[in-house]
Amino acid sequence: MSRSLKNPATTRRTRHFVDFKVQGALSVSLVLLELALFIIAMGYLYVQFSQLLENNLYTIHQSAQQDLLIVMLKAIGFIVLVMAFVNLAALGFAHAVWQRYVGAVLHVFRCRLIEFKQGNFDRKIQGNDTSHGLLGNMEQWRQRERTLQTAINAHVLKLQALGDQPTSALRTAAIVNELGHLQRLLQEHIGVGAAHHQ
């Protein structure tokens, strides 16, 4: 059954990480950053509040109590602003890293597509470039296409050589045999391609 005809509930995307190596590292880094910010914020507020309480421990005037509340709110506001700034900077950095990584993958992908469009399947994608699943799949496809191209060229050369020979029953049988090999080769290749897309 075609994937498009299956129940949408069974074809729902279940992989949440496009690339675990990069996105996982960024996610872990952000979690550790949040934990560090929380610990630093709690330590800062503890020191500030301890000092304020110690300085105002024996103060009973209403105005002094109001000043204490204002100072506490200012300390909390300062922590909130600092955490917001650090989080925005971290998100901006993570976005830049991810965009650069995606851009590098797509650059290799586009360059290879141009080569494939020109019929060039010879150059192997380098090891570092195949670290992403998309480029790894492209390299596997390139290898299959390169094998097919080599086999077709071999049969075409044989057909060209047979075309230069005088007409005879043996020549006709050889041509039919080569055409049969080409037909089976293409059928097998189409079957392999369909299996990889299921």
What is the structure's pLDDT at 131? 63
Q: Express each pLDDT in 23-42 by its tens digit.
A: 788 888 889 999 999 999 99
Query: In the predicted model, is pLDDT for residue 121 greater than 80?
Result: no
Query: In the predicted model, is pLDDT for residue 43 greater than 80?
Result: yes
What is the structure's pLDDT at 61? 57
Q: What is the DSSP letter of 166?
A: P
What is the structure's pLDDT at 85? 94
Q: Which residue has the higher pLDDT, 71 or 9?
A: 71
With 0.95 as the threshold, say if the pTM is over it: no
Neighbouring C-beta atoms of residue 105, cutoff 10 Å: 19
What is the structure's pLDDT at 42? 92
Q: Mean pLDDT over all residues of the chain?
A: 77
* Residue for token pair 């909130």: 80
